[in-house]
Amino acid sequence: MNGIIIGQYVPGDGFFYKVDPRSKIAAIFFLMIATFLLRDIYQVLGALIITLGLLAIGKISLIKVLKGLKPIFILLIFTFVFQILINRQGNILVDTNLSFTIFNILLVIIAFVIWRFLAKYKKYNFLLLLAFLIGSILIFINVNFDFAYNYQLTSFNLQIYEKGIEMSIFVVLRLLIIITLSTILTLTTKPTDLTQGLESLLSPLKKVGFNSEDFALIISISLRYIPTIFDEANKIMQAQASRGADFSEGKLKDKLKQVISLLIPMFIIAFMRSEELADAMESRNFVPGKARTRIHILNYSYRDVLVTAFTVIFFVVALLFRLNVLGY
């Protein structure tokens, strides 16, 4: 439970730290739409280079952004493979038959065992995984004993097309751009600024009955209490563990019972806490919906003009590409 960090904000003083959160949120929103307007791999590649340029301007280290990619790494690989297999346009590049016989399945199992044995070299974990995957595909393609033909279980015709590779790279690049953009926003903006910016951007919705101030308050309070709740869950777990309900031991039925022993106190404590918080806010004269002054007042500066101008240019260019006004 330890080590859960809400928000990725890392204090710093790059260019984007000083940009007003409102223009940052709006800019990221429109840049993302613009990215989806692009239809061509070269355009997306250009957009990626521009995005990396933004990182350089903001003095944000690429490593931090790559770390942010970690959780969606599987998703990226999945999209990549899926696109390659599904798309059947353009020239055919690879056309082989994957045959699954008892013998090459055995070989793959042996390869798997060797891979697991090597897994203790954590440094090369990723390379080993790659080697294993490629190796097993090669085994399925190449190892085809004639005598084993009768033992064939099933076969699969692997066809990779030019367009498939192009599209898969295109989709992955597009995802990379979007994630990099959102990482720039979350790395350089405090959660409080983020909610304040959101509140300000959503304030026109007041006319249709949506109170953006309450919305922002709800978000910021929930963000602030997530670590507290985790802390409390930890304490409850320890209190129950000292009564013999160890969450890491026991049968499934016991574990279910133990989850109940965690959930009930958590709910009760959360309700107690929210009631106390409401009282504390009220005793400091907080009235929902009433106008309040702020400690930090958002201010636009020349940086916001730059960011907005960049966003408009980027968006318009993307739109022109989409409408085939610009082309090659």
Partner 1 sequence: MGIRFNEVSHKYSSFSNVNTSAIYQVSLAIDAKDEFIALVGHTGSGKTTLAKHMNALIFPTAGNVEIFGKTITKKRNKDIKYNEIRQKVGLVFQFPEYQLFEETVLKDVMFGPLNFHIDKKEAERLAIDAIKLVGLDESYLNRNPYNLSGGEKKRASIAGILAMDPEILVLDEPTSGLDPAGKRVLMELFLDIYKTTNKTIIIITHDMDLVYEYFSRVVVMNEGKLVYDGTPEKLFKEHDLSKNHLDYPNTVKVLSHLNKTLNLNLNIYQKTAIDAIKEIEKAGKL
Contact 4, 287 (CB under 8 A): no
Q: At what angle do helices 102-118 and 125-142 cross, to 10 degrees?
A: 170
In sequence order, the 6+-apart residues with CB closer than 8 A to the CB of 46 are none
Contact status: 213 vs partner 1 (CB under 8 A): no
CA distance 314 to 47: 9
Q: Does 232 bind partner 1 (CB under 8 A)?
A: yes
Q: Are 311 and 31 in contact (CB under 8 A)?
A: yes
Nearest distance in Å: CB 120, partner 1? 17
173 to 212, contacts with partner 1 by CB under 8 A?
Answer: none
Coil/strand/helix, residue 297 = coil
Q: Please, which residue, 98 or 241, has the CB nearer to partner 1?
A: 241
State yes or no: residue 239 binds partner 1 (CB under 8 A).
yes
CA distance 301 to 17: 12
Q: Is 48 in the site for partner 1 (CB under 8 A)?
A: no
Amino acid of residue 41 = I
Rank residues 58 and 265 by Cβ distance to partner 1 and give the closer one: 265
Q: What's 211's DSSP letter? A: -
Q: Which is nearer to partner 1, 53 or 244 (CB)?
A: 244
- Say whether residue 244 binds partner 1 (CB under 8 A): yes
Nearer to partner 1, 106 or 268 (CB): 268
Q: Give me the long-range contacts of 208-212 (CB less than 8 A, separation at least 24).
A: 211/289
Q: By rule CB under 8 A, what string of x and - marks binding of each residue 264-303 to partner 1? A: xx--xx--x-------------------------------
Q: Is 3 in the site for partner 1 (CB under 8 A)?
A: yes
Residues near partner 1 (CB under 8 A) are 2-3, 5, 232, 235-236, 238-246, 249, 254, 260-261, 264-265, 268-269, 272
